């Protein structure tokens, strides 16, 4: 629909061009990067009308006293406003980086689905350098190449073979780097950095004339067989072969595939062989990975297989590198783009396939501003390009799982590991029958000691996410429940209140346990910081390393730490779920999860799903064929049905059960949700603002709340939630539209900061 709209617009413009009269007035409706749900009209001064303006072009406009870069969405020759009041654009960014119809169409669909201002959506899709008013000086991409022959015949020069032999003895790092560049002629520095190299060996190789960097003129890649390196290509197992043939059968039509494969079942090999088929058509492939999922191991597998330009997109790149990836996508020179969620906006000129690895991962959802889900809009995008999309995971999200079971997605399973290695078994440690010392059970301490003594590594998870403060009795382990909903109450520390996040009922925190009378009532899942300290003290003979978002903020830090782990510089690894993804630690034979109880009794219905995903993923990280691994989980509730199901029957079975529960409880994926968040300096404002929203009945929709957020006060602001949900997405969509249309009449709307989250993933804040 939108594209026909655009072609009409184009017709108007070309008619204008054919009249030889002096140019008439021209008005642009542009998207401005501000949080307002509208386009803005500007006129184009005569001197800026040639060459003719194109839709999707960037122009500079005056806006509220500033100059901003805006994108042209429509044009017209007449204007519905008072012509004298319409401002003129300041200038045009005359470069070739304009959005195509199809990109604009995609961004419009995103804005529409998420009810988000189009200007902000477009601005997210533009690299920072193209959002700047000053014109950009684009540095050419430098691609590294290895010299494969000596360039002189003079006999006093040692032969390349001799040089390399010497190199691997004297400077193994340089030799390693040379080998990678030789295997993948035309690799970028951004890739080498992820692989863990520094500039020192790079410069050393340059000085030795062993490698050179070529600044290349971007041009679309074309496939030839030499670009495929067959050396490490594996003969597929039957399971794998079935997936590859099913996906590659129809490459030129939309289809969505869920690849559910246990950890280590060879999903990456499946991706590689599917990608091969797409590249062979000279089409581009986009691979989305979790925020820290771009591991050296994975990247080097891609590089060793395909001798074609691979471009990266992630938070570790500088603005120029990001722009280069964007351009390489647009100009067709990038064959493969591997990136985190916002890579979905890469303007691929010739898209052939999208792969979303670890599709259940929460980092695919943007948690502020434009709150899109990378996986969901990837599906939208694949549909638009009419190409296949593959969602892969050992632990699919219940949403994708449901769609697969309903037959909306092709469902493929990899149930076996190709080699001899087996998944580690999860064992529960019943904390009730254990000597517990500051959160560590005697059996766990024992196992850690033994593992370290054998010279193997231990990985310890502090499960921070998915936690919500339910209150439990330290003696009988009873959880305080709302009697009306039979759901745990959530502790609101600030007010010393228990609030049910299902019906909103409140009560004071009791002094004694209702079951056994004990006064030892405490929130679940506390004290992970002390635990960590305690571990380090207890095993002070060994080196402990902490890997989480904070310890890896600096560029290259994660690669460095991971390298140290694989060099066995550390024996004790402590981390959050960030470590559960994609990394292979062959010498880790014991994984311990210290506390899962918070997730079992959270008001956030996704907490249990996330816990199950975490446990299953970490199970896949422990051990290998020669050294089988173990996963130990500490809990006060070993009989909890969800835990039992997971431990005895595995994730797939757990997921089926969890879906049944969701269905009964009218929760996603059976119901669709939208979350309004509001905050202000006084608690009554957000409460009243959200309450006023519930005053208008919405067809087919129901409200839950308003209730205080689990973290009800942050940075001096009081925060409240309102959930709107419906059985039909259509009803929810209409309802939200209606609420937004009337929101300015809400007497409290200027007193609060509010935001909208379509398909919210995290209800804890
Ligand atoms: P996943 O991504 O599913 O966790 P990987 O693709 O990393 O699994 O594969 C796990 C291991 O199995 C890797 O070492 C890989 O080389 C090996 N592997 C994968 N497919 C095969 C195959 N068809 N034959 C032999 N080994 C395989
Ligand atoms: Zn009790
Ligand atoms: Zn209740």
pLDDT at residue 555, as a whole number:
67
pLDDT at 1 over 80: no
pLDDT at 10 over 50: no
Is 693:722 a contact under the CB 8 Å cutoff?
yes
Counting ligands in written order, the one closest to the CA of 235 is 1
Could you identify the atom of ligand 1 that is nearest to the CA of residue 262?
3
Among the residues of 575-640, which ranges form H helices? 597-600, 607-619
| Averaged pLDDT for residues 697-701 | 94
How many angstroms is it from 639 CA to the middle of ligand 2? 17
Ion ligand 2 residue ranges (Cβ < 5 Å): 473, 475-476, 478, 513, 515-516, 518
Confidence of residue 477 (pLDDT cuts 50, 70, 90): confident
- Residue with CA nearest ligand 1 atom 15: 266
Is 351:102 a contact under the CB 8 Å cutoff?
no
pLDDT at 640 over 50: yes
| 685 vs 749: CA distance, rounded Å | 9
How many angstroms is it from 521 CA to the middle of ligand 2? 8
Confidence of residue 151 (pLDDT cuts 50, 70, 90): low
How many other β-carbons are positioned within 10 Å of the β-carbon of residue 716?
Answer: 7
Question: Is residue 392 in contact with ligand 1, taking CB distance under 6 Å?
Answer: no
Tell me the residue ranges of DSSP E strands in 148-276: 211-215, 255-261
Could you identify the atom of ligand 1 that is nearest to the CA of residue 263?
4
Residue from 764, 295, 187, 342 nearest 552 by CA = 295
Ligand 1 mutation pick, 300, 418, 625, 651, max ligand atoms within 8 A of CB: 418
Confidence of residue 14 (pLDDT cuts 50, 70, 90): very low
DSSP 82-148: -GGGSPBP-EE--SS----HHHHHHHHHHHHHHT--HHHHHHHHS-GGGGSSSPP-PPPPEEEEE--
pLDDT at residue 19, as a whole number:
45
pLDDT at residue 165, as a whole number:
84
How many angstroms is it from 491 CA to the middle of ligand 3? 13
How many angstroms is it from 609 CA to the middle of ligand 3? 21
pLDDT at residue 5, as a whole number:
44
How many angstroms is it from 237 CA to the middle of ligand 1? 10
Among the residues of 233-387, which ranges form H helices? 238-249, 267-279, 296-305, 319-331, 374-385
| Averaged pLDDT for residues 556-581 | 79
How many angstroms is it from 293 CA to the middle of ligand 1? 16
pLDDT, tens only, 599-629: 888 888 898 898 899 888 887 777 665 677 8
How many angstroms is it from 450 CA to the middle of ligand 1? 30
pLDDT, tens only, 254-307: 999 999 999 889 999 999 999 999 999 999 999 999 876 677 778 888 988 998
pLDDT at 75 over 90: yes
pLDDT at 95 over 70: yes
Counting ligands in written order, the one closest to the CA of 486 is 3
Residue from 347, 271, 341 nearest 105 by CA = 347
Q: Is 495 or 316 the better-scoring residue by pLDDT?
A: 316
How many angstroms is it from 419 CA to the middle of ligand 1? 8
Q: Which two tokens stand for residue 452?
A: 């370290």
Q: Which range is least confidently modeled, 158-172, 544-558, 723-737? A: 544-558
Where do we find the tokens 């419009």? 108
Could you identify the atom of ligand 1 that is nearest to the CA of residue 620?
4
- Residue with CA nearest ligand 1 atom 4: 264
pLDDT at 745 over 50: yes
Counting ligands in written order, the one closest to the CA of 514 is 2
- Residue with CA nearest ligand 1 atom 26: 418
pLDDT, tens only, 336-357: 999 999 999 999 999 999 999 9
φ, ψ of residue 719 to 5 degrees: the values are: -120, 135
CATH of 2-131, one of 2.60.40.10, 3.40.50.300, 3.40.1440.60, 3.90.79.10: 3.40.1440.60
Percent helix, strand, coil in the chain (nearest 5)?
A: 35, 25, 40
- Residue with CA nearest ligand 1 atom 12: 266
pLDDT at 474 over 50: yes
| 286 vs 389: CA distance, rounded Å | 10
Those residues whose C-beta lies under 8 Å from the C-beta of residue 277, and which sit 6 or more positions away, are 244, 248, 251
| Averaged pLDDT for residues 222-243 | 88
Tell me the residue ranges of DSSP E strands in 585-716: 588-593, 623-624, 627-628, 630-635, 672-680, 701-714
- Residue with CA nearest ligand 1 atom 20: 266
What's the mean per-residue pLDDT of the chain?
87
- H or E element that contains 533: helix 528-538
CATH class, domain 425-465+527-662, is alpha beta
Question: Is residue 128 in contact with ligand 1, taking CB distance under 6 Å?
Answer: no
Question: Is residue 261 in contact with ligand 1, taking CB distance under 6 Å?
Answer: yes
Could you identify the atom of ligand 1 that is nearest to the CA of residue 394?
3
How many angstroms is it from 585 CA to the middle of ligand 1? 14
Those residues whose C-beta lies under 8 Å from the C-beta of residue 147, and which sit 6 or more positions away, are 160, 209, 210, 211, 212
Could you identify the atom of ligand 1 that is nearest to the CA of residue 270?
6
pLDDT at residue 524, as a whole number:
78
Question: Is residue 268 in contact with ligand 1, taking CB distance under 6 Å?
Answer: yes
Q: Give me the sheet containing 425-430, strands edge to edge.
A: 425-430, 630-635, 588-593, 457-461, 572-575, 544-547
Ligand 1 mutation pick, 269, 622, 623, max ligand atoms within 8 A of CB: 269
- Residue with CA nearest ligand 1 atom 18: 266
Domains 225-412 and 672-758 in one fold: no
Counting ligands in written order, the one closest to the CA of 262 is 1
Is 343:286 a contact under the CB 8 Å cutoff?
yes
pLDDT at residue 463, as a whole number:
64
Counting ligands in written order, the one closest to the CA of 522 is 2
Looking at the chain, the number of H-run helices and the number of E-run strands are 21, 35
Counting ligands in written order, the one closest to the CA of 236 is 1
Q: Which two tokens stand for residue 340?
A: 């985190």
SS3 60: strand
Query: Cα 590 to the chain's mean position, in Å?
Result: 28
How many angstroms is it from 515 CA to the middle of ligand 2? 5
Interior angle at CA 582, CA 276 and CA 658, nearest 5: 105
pLDDT at residue 142, as a whole number:
87
pLDDT at 16 over 70: no
Q: What is the percent of the chain with per-residue pLDDT over 70, rounded to a whole number?
A: 91
In CATH terms, the fold of domain 225-412 is Rossmann fold (3.40.50)
In CATH terms, the fold of domain 672-758 is Alpha-Beta Plaits (3.30.70)
Q: Which range is least confidently modeled, 309-318, 368-377, 686-695? A: 309-318
pLDDT, tens only, 378-407: 999 999 999 999 999 999 999 999 999 999
Question: Is residue 240 in contact with ligand 1, taking CB distance under 6 Å?
Answer: yes
Ligand 1 mutation pick, 238, 268, 412, 585, max ligand atoms within 8 A of CB: 268
Q: Is 79 or 175 the better-scoring residue by pLDDT?
A: 175
Is 622:589 a contact under the CB 8 Å cutoff?
yes
pLDDT, tens only, 411-421: 999 998 887 77
pLDDT at residue 550, as a whole number:
67
| 257 vs 353: CA distance, rounded Å | 11
Counting ligands in written order, the one closest to the CA of 489 is 3
Buried b (16+ CB within 10 A) or exposed e, 726-753: beeeebbbbbbeebeeebeebebbebbe
| 288 vs 654: CA distance, rounded Å | 26
pLDDT at residue 39, as a whole number:
93
How many angstroms is it from 637 CA to the middle of ligand 2? 14
Q: How many residues does the chain have?
A: 765
pLDDT at residue 279, as a whole number:
95
- Residue 84: C-alpha distances to residues 13, 80, 88, 539 (Å): 22, 11, 10, 76
| Averaged pLDDT for residues 107-133 | 94
- Residue with CA nearest ligand 1 atom 25: 418
Question: Is residue 265 in contact with ligand 1, taking CB distance under 6 Å?
Answer: yes
pLDDT, tens only, 660-687: 999 998 999 999 999 999 999 998 999 9
How many other β-carbons are positioned within 10 Å of the β-carbon of residue 241?
Answer: 13
Domain coordinates of the chain in residue numbers? Answer: 2-131, 141-149+160-216, 225-412, 425-465+527-662, 466-526, 672-758
- Residue with CA nearest ligand 1 atom 23: 236
pLDDT at 155 over 70: no
Question: Is residue 413 in contact with ligand 1, taking CB distance under 6 Å?
Answer: no
Residue from 301, 324, 271, 351 nearest 194 by CA = 301
């Amino acid at each position: 629909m939108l594209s026909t709209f655009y072609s009409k617009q184009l017709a108007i413009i070309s008619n204008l061009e054919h009249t030889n009269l002096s140019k008439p007035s021209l008005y642009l409706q542009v998207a401005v990067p501000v949080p307002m749900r509208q386009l803005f009209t500007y006129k184009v001064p005569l001197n800026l009308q040639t060459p003719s303006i194109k839709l999707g072009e960037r122009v500079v406009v005056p806006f509220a006293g500033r100059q901003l870069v805006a994108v042209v969405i429509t044009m017209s020759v007449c204007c519905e406003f008072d012509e004298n009041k319409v401002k003129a654009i300041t200038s045009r960014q005359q470069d070739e980086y304009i959005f195509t119809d199809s990109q604009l169409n995609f961004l419009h669909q995103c804005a529409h689905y998420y009810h988000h201002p189009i200007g902000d959506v477009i601005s997210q899709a533009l690299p920072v350098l193209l959002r700047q008013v000053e014109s950009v000086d684009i540095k050419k991409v430098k691609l590294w190449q290895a010299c494969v022959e000596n360039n002189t015949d003079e006999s006093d020069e040692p032969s390349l073979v001799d040089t390399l032999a010497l190199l691997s003895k004297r400077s193994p790092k340089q030799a390693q780097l040379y080998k990678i560049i030789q295997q993948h002629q035309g690799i970028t520095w951004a890739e080498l950095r992820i692989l863990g190299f520094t500039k020192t060996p790079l410069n050393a190789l340059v000085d030795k004339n062993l490698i050179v960097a070529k600044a290349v003129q971007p041009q679309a890649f074309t496939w030839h067989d030499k670009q495929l390196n067959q050396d490490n290509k594996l003969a597929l197992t039957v399971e794998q072969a079935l997936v590859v043939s099913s996906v590659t059968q129809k490459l030129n039509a939309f289809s969505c595939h869920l690849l559910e494969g246990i950890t280590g079942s060879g999903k990456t090999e499946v991706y590689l062989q599917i990608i091969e088929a797409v590249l062979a058509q000279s089409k581009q492939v986009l691979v989305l990975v979790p925020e820290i999922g771009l591991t050296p191991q994975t990247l080097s597998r891609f590089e060793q297989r395909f001798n074609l330009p691979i471009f990266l997109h992630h938070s570790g790149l500088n603005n120029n590198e990001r722009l280069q990836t964007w351009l390489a996508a647009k100009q067709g020179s990038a064959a493969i783009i591997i990136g985190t969620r916002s890579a979905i906006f890469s303007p691929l000129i010739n898209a052939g396939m999208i792969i979303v690895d670890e599709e259940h991962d929460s980092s695919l959802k943007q948690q502020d501003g434009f709150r899109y889900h990378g996986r969901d809009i990837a599906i939208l995008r694949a549909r638009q390009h009419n190409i296949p999309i593959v969602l892969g995971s050992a632990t699919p999200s219940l949403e994708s799982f449901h769609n697969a079971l309903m037959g909306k997605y092709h469902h493929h399973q990899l149930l076996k590991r190709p080699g001899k290695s087996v998944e580690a078994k999860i064992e529960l440690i019943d904390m009730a029958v254990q000597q517990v010392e500051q959160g560590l059970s005697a059996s766990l301490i024992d196992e850690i000691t033994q593992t370290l003594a054998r010279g193997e590594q231990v990985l310890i998870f502090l499960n921070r996410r998915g936690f919500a403060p339910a209150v439990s009795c330290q003696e009988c382990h009873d959880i305080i429940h709302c009697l009306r909903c039979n759901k745990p109450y959530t502790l609101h520390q600030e007010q010393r209140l228990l609030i049910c996040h299902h019906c909103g009922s409140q009560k004071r925190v009791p002094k004694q346990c209702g079951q056994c009378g004990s006064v030892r009532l405490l929130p679940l899942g506390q004290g992970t910081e002390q635990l960590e300290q305690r571990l380090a003290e207890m095993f002070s003979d060994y080196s402990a390393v902490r890997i989480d978002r904070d310890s890896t903020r600096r560029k290259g830090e994660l690669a460095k730490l991971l390298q140290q782990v694989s060099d066995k510089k550390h024996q004790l690894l402590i981390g959050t779920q960030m470590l559960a993804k994609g990394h292979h630690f062959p010498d880790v034979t014991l994984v311990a999860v210290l506390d899962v109880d918070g997730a079992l009794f959270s008001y956030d219905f996704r907490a249990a799903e996330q816990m199950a995903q975490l446990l299953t993923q970490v199970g896949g990280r422990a051990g290998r064929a020669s050294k089988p691994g173990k996963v130990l989980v500490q809990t006060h509730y070993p009989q909890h049905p969800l835990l039992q199901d997971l431990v005895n029957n595995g994730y797939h079975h757990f997921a089926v059960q969890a879906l049944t529960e969701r269905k009964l409880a009218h929760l996603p994926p059976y119901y669709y949700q939208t979350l309004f968040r509001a905050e202000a300096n006084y608690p009554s404002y957000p409460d009243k603002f959200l309450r006023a929203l519930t005053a208008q009945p919405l067809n087919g929709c129901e409200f839950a709340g308003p209730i205080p957020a689990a973290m009800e006060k942050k940075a001096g602001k009081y925060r409240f939630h309102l959930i709107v949900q419906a059985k039909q997405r259509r009803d929810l969509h209409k309802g939200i539209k209606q609420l937004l249309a009337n929101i300015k009449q809400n007497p409290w709307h200027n007193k609060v900061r509010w935001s909208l989250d379509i398909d919210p993933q995290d209800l804890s804040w």
